Structure 1
């Protein structure tokens, strides 16, 4: 039976060939089987087993297991080999390679312990590459011992436990021990050097207070100083090492945990402000892991090699918990081991056959600058199929130089994958298509810095900016770019990146003010600037780091990367920030660079070189260039520049000399800033006025159209009147509107039109574009609405059920009768629309009917309506709309497979005429 289901799904969606179909797969949600596809599936099952399935099963069955249960009951039990018990049915699910039914992280570990307790889970690399292997069973046993110790300390379900441990067995046992005890882990980074532990713990006091940590698990050497924190953290009652927690043994009772319970708190790095505790639920975590794994096609055959810190989301979730879920081996090494000898990372990938690994951009740069050719002799990176680059801005120069240099060692350029994610989305938000390699966009510098428009630059242009694509939103997740008023922007316009999806956090722990600031109507503000192009997202900078200087937008990272290449300055130790000038109300552009140089002449030369680079990149001179001694630039635990904190030091006069501004320069800055502000306000005002005009027009035309249709006695008159009103409305909006391909419409006989669905405007646009002989097929819930239902019935619309599966299948009969009677029908096969670009999954109704009745089907491509009025955004924008009626298609027969071919050909033809972003989204 599962083979039948698998074959049906693959026929519907060929891209799902690798999809694992289990007894617990939900037919509609997981497998995309709609009502007509369910009719075909039922027919195949009945034919295969020689049984007649009860009618109520059509609507009540959610999974193949439901069908299997009926097959082994009174209906057709003699036709197939009976299963001895329900345990045998459950046994069939053991063939699955992943814990698809798990709802919590605890259930994921339990699944592996039941299925493969001795399988290698983590291989720890110690000094001299000594290996310490941990199986799933060993992880579980070690975690149980920690859990027993925590419960002896009085830990209750839902209480938080801070975990301040280096990468190693203790961290892994401690993390899961907290979960098994019913607690909430709070990973925080350990001190790099024990000599700095007091200062380090003082800086962690804020996290411990906010988390209300009950217990702190740390190394033995830190316990004495950690106790000094207890007066500052009233909730902290116990400080212990893993060895102390496990010394007495004992049993633990794991409290039940639900999918929406907090799995752990992920504290942000604090690069742009105070650290905040992101609440990551079990549901958030598993949704992100499952989506990322599906996109990356990971499996037990993979090997992930990681040196990433376990307190960072990329290391904790991307490396460890991803390997835990999918059952592939994880090779863990200390972050300090990588920093001391970057070659150890690459050689570990070679020797241990690594296929996956991840790092921030600086790590790839470190491999370029610190490794000589002699360090790499004999290196083989040919098995490395995905090299994630994220967690900080990605440099196009680093991508190019790394792929070029390491190509000679087998590294495939297509393996490099710049990605975008953040703790507030659990981890991943956007990934590039698998095996494509980096995509770099060259835009005109002037237009981008002045107006925030990413206009493509000519091939020979020199004044350009280059941005790296972070890929496309993960399936089921959405990204939008909005202006400061939360109004969505069109493509190639820079704005605030917002996201939403099943992985998005509910907010920050015990911080409702900050949660309310960034989470609105289900959309989370990333505080990043970005733009979209061709369905891809391009990050341009952090909102808090943006500097507005002389009417231009200046992104610190671009300047820092360029200045850091100067000999005499410490690469990666440059901070560029804006400092307000109270006298003028403008921002000063400050470049803070670390240097060992002491000679006055050399320092002056360096300042001149920095000034030249900044002018070349931004068109303006920096107001102050501070050459500071090493370790002056503040960083987060993950190595990100703390620009806000560095700016505070500068403003307190602790870095270099204050800059004395020239009044002419300041006056020019004021004038340009005022002009830019007025220009922005005018554009926003113009857009608001246009939106208000559209809605005024709508409320004038719509009631008159409804009244006209209500009083006209004939259906043909009603349709002609509606078409005239729709064309009037579109004309008065002023949007460029065009229609092509009307000559493809049959002069006689019925036909089916299948149009893509992108906006509420689509119905109005088709009324304006098409001759009045077509009837729309609408969702049945509209029929019960007095205003909409009466209007649509007068136009001859046909209504179909969306939620009742039996009624939905039965609605096909009257539609077939209408076609046979000569009535042409218009379908939106997607059934609904969303704000995301691209085509949704097509329902089979229109194609099954066209094949069975033998009438031509014409694809209709509607372009531009999503940009004018996007779903969830009641702020119409000016934009061109075009409708193209494609040549007719005719099925070669009435059967199911011919209907599928008709659907696939329709999708292909629509994609040829849709926008670039629609095509890109579908291709992904």
Structure 2
């Protein structure tokens, strides 16, 4: 169809285009919702999703019809940004691309060396890039496909050079090793060089997804603020167009000091100095999508990442001639690790296209595989379903998929029906059905956990529905009918990794019994960033709880659902996926916009079965018919009727950035009775965000005032109590009275300071004989705290320099402190003999074996004095763990903060005998005890 250029067309022509567009939209929506067709009203200002029920998947069909009707290729960005038909019309009037669908010719990627050479000696991700940039700098690493599908090649040398420019800009801006930097960028060159620029600067990348539409700005920024706060991001790298909105985040993210684009950073610095990173250091933070709760940052170390890449590469037998074609978003682990970093490590090329390119025209994914002779590609199940339902046979004419040797299907439940239909349809285009590979992985396992054997194809297990739902037994079914369930095998664990199925008590289950899936191995993450409670909940004894339900048979892993999505109703286990899929086929409901979840019922102690389904139907009788139809489907599938059916308006069912149903969030919305409440206009959202920003600034200011007020109060209290305590000790005639007075003063100071203070293990103190106490040292407060915690019969061992000070020396001598020389060897020996004599006369001693303290967490090296004395004198040594003082008053900081302090007097240790070897063993035992009681707690505190 030919069209005159826009500048020669009349106003009437413009009206003709508008009417034609509205006819297309009307027809498309009527096909989607035939019951609503008679009274359907579509205008240029109708909101596609809210008014017409056109979600992301429905847009695929609408875009296809518009392009066919007008003979154009709409910009892929319009797919996400258009809110109304008027937005589309403006692009059509502005001169949309009217070229025909290109007939792709094969354009294979030229491989590098055909010999399998990989950086086996690399210890970090930075080493991997450096290795390739050194040995094959000109080899094509990534081919970026833009709007016009012309490839933009990026070599290993290009990537390293451009990333170094970004790193220099970050370092010039003050980024220090180990600090986090957020990447809020779409798939493209900026993301690639920004990610490695952060690594080369010594930082930790935090990929987060960018906003798609202005109407989503409030929810998007709120979710990102939570991630940025948890990550303590110092810098946010984003596109220039998003910098204004991103500025609103700064009021909610105290750690955020800068927002910049890649171009700005790359133009600021000259050279970067890449700090040395260790394999155990965090490579990046992968935030979970939040489909079952709040997002959590998985700590992926360099060691985790390389172990996972090597295990997957071995299983898949990848080689330099492979070509990975991907449209997966880079903030998702399957796209970031599976597609990009996997191709980076093994040296095969990656053909990378935008996720919008796929959603706008799904056929572009398959044609990219044809054009570049792709051998590897991956996608969630919905993408394969989209190719089945939204690509016509005419669009596939000439397609050749014979090069596609591995088609991974993962990241969401895999449908046996989808696998079968995809294999049948695309077999005539050269696809080998054995290429379809259902896989299992998750961010907590870095990425891959289980893969099927090469060349086998999908393996489907059909089990008896009744036995599985009632008892969790996967009994093989004879026939494939309504009384069966079908599950797809995800294969076997990766080399060097293990999986197991356990019950609620952590006891491993036999084959064909459903339970919680746990996994372990070198790819298993150390947990969640700054979320120790969440980490302890899922990681125990080296086994990570996936929060997925599964069973195993013949060594194969079958995923059956999410543990947190499981609904227990009348003693039955109900799985939302089956119910949602069945309800989604009902006419009048929006497919893919169904949420089934359980809501606790206090009256019965079980879950109420709730169905939330989006529908734009307004007629009461029609809505009643929908409820009846939903009720029938649920009863057929589960054997029980739903307790509540909520017909919600479009866009009520909450989803993650990758399209997964956020059942936990939907449950919260339902329980707050907020389903279907209209959202605010974008300008009102921005105003509300500005109000929240002002409120946040005022709140932070008030908290600062409170903190300052507390610090001033503590110092006034100190200068009131300390002189009086010194004076009392100075004038009292007996040492026993001095110690008792100092103890009461210390306890009074702690109480007036409002510090929660507790002591545990007092029963370990010997009353009949002397002992040596060895305490960790982390703050100036430690001496005061021990004075308050210990009975008044212990003498502190202090450095001799304090003895010559008039104020401190007099005070310590009156308390019976013993002084030791640290630098004069002869004097030191004499002081040690004096300490031994004190023990023999019955005087117990308190040591800080670290000698001094610093602001860093953990224990410093121990001096041997306390342990040699205890071993040679044959007296017990009591480790004393002090927790919290470093938080309240850290080294180099004279600004006390609120915090709880706890003293743990641990069980006494006794040396095996006198001598140096026995003293070393005693030191090691004491250090192990203190690490158990101190270091773990301090790590927790550092994450609060």
Please state which band the TM-score falls in when normalised by the shorter chain. 0.5 to 0.7
Counterparts of 1:46-61 in structure 2 under 5 Å?
Answer: none
Provide the rounded CA distance (Å) in 1 between the counterparts of 2:643 and 2:153. 55
Q: Secondary structure at the match of 1:544?
A: coil
CA offsets per residue over residues 209-263 of structure 1, 9 Å max, x none?
1111111101111112222222221111111000110113410000001111110
Question: Is 1:469 equivalent to 2:489 in the alignment?
Answer: yes
Q: What residue in structure 1 maps to residue 185 of structure 2?
A: 165
Partner of 1:796: none
Q: Is the 8 A contact 1:545 1:577 kept in 2?
A: yes
Work out the CA distance in 1 between the residues paired with 2:325 and 2:592.
24
Matched, 1:251 2:271: yes
Map of 1:454-853 to 2, 5 A cutoff?
A: 454-459=474-479, 462-655=482-675
- Are the aligned partners of 1:305 and 1:348 in contact in 2 as well (CA < 8 Å)? yes
| Contact 2:115 2:320 (C-alpha < 8 Å) held by counterparts | no
Checking the alignment, whether the CA contact within 8 Å between 2:114 and 2:320 is kept in structure 1 is no
Question: 1: distance between equivalents of 2:233 and 2:647?
Answer: 41
TM-score (norm 1): 0.60
- Look up the match of 1:333: 353
For the structure 1 residues 125 and 214, does the alpha-carbon distance in structure 2 shift closer, same or farther, using more than 3 Å as the test? same
Contact 1:142 1:173 in 2 (8 A): yes
2:888 — aligned with what?
A: none
Q: Flag the 1:476–1:269 CA change in 2: closer, same or farther, 3 A.
A: same
Other structure's SS at 1:580 match: strand
Match 2:225 to one of 195, 205, 208: 205
**CA distance, structure 2, for counterparts of residue 290 and residue 580 of structure 1:** 44
What TM-score, normalized to structure 2? 0.59
Aligned-residue offset at 1:435: 1.1
Q: Is 1:137 matched with 2:160?
A: no
Cα pair 1:205 1:233 within 8 Å, conserved: yes
- In the other structure, the counterpart of 1:777 is none
2:412 aligned partner? 392
- 2:147 and 2:399 mapped to 1: Cα distance? 20
Work out the CA distance in 2 between the residues paired with 1:224 and 1:656.
Answer: 30
Aligned counterparts of 1:374 and 1:599: Cα–Cα separation in 2:
39
Does residue 402 of structure 1 match 2:391?
Answer: no
Say if 2:455 is the partner of 1:435. yes
Q: Give, in whole Å, the separation in 1 of the partners of 2:481 and 2:583.
A: 22
Secondary structure of the structure 2 residue equivalent to 1:206: helix
Q: Is the 2:490–2:559 contact (alpha carbons within 8 Å) kept by the matching residues of 1?
A: yes
Secondary structure, aligned partner of 2:186:
coil
CA contact (8 A) 1:650 1:656 kept: no
Q: Match for 1:321 among 330, 338, 341?
A: 341
187-196 or 140-149: which moved more? 187-196
Indicate yes or no: 2:317 matched with 1:297.
Answer: yes
Q: CA deviation at 1:656?
A: 7.5
Deviations 1:608-659 (A, max 9, x none): 22222211211111112222221110001111100011111112223389xx
Report if aligned partners of 1:94, 1:115 keep a CA contact under 8 Å in 2: no
Residue 587 of structure 1: how far off its partner (Å): 1.3
Distance 1:595 1:458 in 2: 38
Quick check: 1:480–1:497 contact (8 Å CA) kept in 2?
Answer: yes
Is 2:176 the counterpart of 1:151?
Answer: no
Distance in 1, Cα, partners of 2:264 & 2:480:
66
Structure 2 match to 1:239: 259
3-state SS of 1:354 partner: coil
- The 1-side partners of 2:620 and 2:291 are apart by 33
- Checking the alignment, whether the CA contact within 8 Å between 2:652 and 2:676 is kept in structure 1 is no
Per-residue deviation, 1:493: 0.5
Post-superposition Cα deviations, 1:470-525, rounded to whole Å, max 9, x if no partner, equal 11111110000000000000000000000000000011111110000100000000
Contact 2:323 2:375 in 1 (8 A): yes
Whether contact under 8 Å (1:164, 1:189) holds in the other structure is yes
Kept after mapping to 1: 8 A contact 2:142/2:352: yes
Unpaired stretches in structure 1, ≥5 consecutive residues? 1-92, 658-924
Report what 2:376 is aligned to.
Answer: 356
**What are the Cα deviations for residues 432-480 of structure 1, in whole angstroms up to 9, with x where unaligned?**
0111111111111111111111111113654011111111111110000
Superimposed CA distance per residue, residues 333-374 of structure 1 (whole angstroms, 9 cap, x where no aligned partner): 111111111111111111111111100011111111211211
Residue of 102, 110, 118 corresponding to 1:98? 118
Distance 1:451 1:202 in 2: 41
Query: How far apart are the structure 2 equivalents of 1:123 and 1:483?
Result: 47
Residue pair 1:266, 1:280 contacting (<8 A) in 2 also: yes
- Number of residue pairs aligned between Structure 1 and Structure 2: 565
Equivalent runs, 1:258-277 vs 2, <5 Å: 258-277=278-297
CA distance in 2: counterparts of 1:419 and 1:268, whole angstroms: 18
Tell me the distance in 1 between the aligned counterparts of 2:651 and 2:244: 28
Question: For the residues of structure 2 that align with 1:196 and 1:219, how far apart are their CA atoms?
Answer: 17
Distance 1:95 1:624 in 2: 62
Q: Counterpart of 2:331 in 1: which secondary structure?
A: coil
Distance 1:311 1:656 in 2: 30
**Contact 2:467–2:474, Cα closer than 8 Å, also in 1:** yes
Is 2:221 the counterpart of 1:190?
no
Higher alpha-carbon Rg: 2
CA distance in 1, matches of 2:401, 2:618: 42
Deviation (angstroms), 1:404: 1.1
* SS of alignment partner, residue 573 of structure 2: strand
Change (3 A) 1:462 1:261: same
Contact 2:172 2:268 in 1 (8 A): no
Encode CA deviations 1:174-225: one digit per residue, 9 max, x unaligned.
Answer: 0000000000000011111255445422221111111111111011111122
Change (3 A) 1:154 1:654: same
The residue matched to 1:229 in structure 2 has which SS?
A: coil
Aligned to 2:876: none
Instruction: For 2:385 and 2:618, locate their aligned partners in 1 and report how far apart those are by CA, in whole Å.
Output: 27
> What is the alpha-carbon distance in structure 2 between the residues aligned to residue 315 and residue 504 of structure 1?
19
Structure-2 residue corresponding to 1:285: 305
The equivalent of 2:388 in structure 1 is 368
Cα distance 1:228–1:434, how it changes in 2: closer, same or farther (>3 A)?
same
Q: Distance in 2 between matches of 1:653 and 1:263?
A: 42
Farther-moved stretch of structure 1 (224-233 vs 392-401): 224-233
Query: In structure 1, what is the equivalent of residue 135 of structure 2?
Result: 115
Give yes or no for contact 2:119–2:345 (8 Å, CA) kept in 1.
Answer: yes
Q: Partners of 1:601 and 1:420 in 2: how far apart?
A: 44
- Contact conserved, 2:655 with 2:661, CA < 8 A, in 1? yes
- Secondary structure in 2 aligned to 1:378? coil
Q: Please, which of 374, 377, 380 is the counterpart of residue 400 of structure 2? A: 380
Q: 2:618, 2:496 → 1: CA distance? A: 55
| Distance change >3 Å, CA 388–CA 95, structure 1 → 2 | closer
Equivalent position of 1:310 in the other structure: 330
Which digits, 9 at most, give the CA deviation of each residue in 1:31-78, with x for residues without a partner?
xxxxxxxxxxxxxxxxxxxxxxxxxxxxxxxxxxxxxxxxxxxxxxxx
Aligned residue for 1:129, secondary structure, equals: coil
Asked whether the 8 Å contact 1:120–1:329 carries over to 2, the reply is yes
